[in-house]
Amino acid sequence: MPATLPLKAAERNFKRVVECLQQGESITLLDADGQSLALLVSLRTADREPVEDWGARMKALAEQVDEAWQGEASAIKTLSQMRR
């Protein structure tokens, strides 16, 4: 998809233009003189797989953090002190 598009072309193919925009992409719409007229930005969210078991996912993440932690105090102790 081009980064710019004449407004007339966008009007003729608006549905296709919007459907082709991916997450975070934008198209500048140009008037008949080639001047920027509007910015069309995709608000589409990223496709993500649903998480079935949040508890298991958080436990796995905690284990990864624990394995990578290099501080003298535990990660939990450090976070607790930061919250005070």
For 50, list phi and psi in degrees, rounded to 5. Answer: -65, 145
Neighbouring C-beta atoms of residue 27, cutoff 10 Å: 20
Q: What is the pLDDT of residues 17-69, one digit of tens each?
A: 888 888 778 889 999 999 888 888 888 776 666 667 878 877 887 787 777 77
- How far is the C-alpha of 27 from the C-alpha of 23, rounded, in Å? 12
pTM check: above 0.85: no
State how far the Cα of 67 lies from the Cα of 16, in Å rounded to an integer.
Answer: 48
DSSP string, 49-83: PPPS-HHHHHHHHHHHHHHH--SSS-HHHHHHHHH
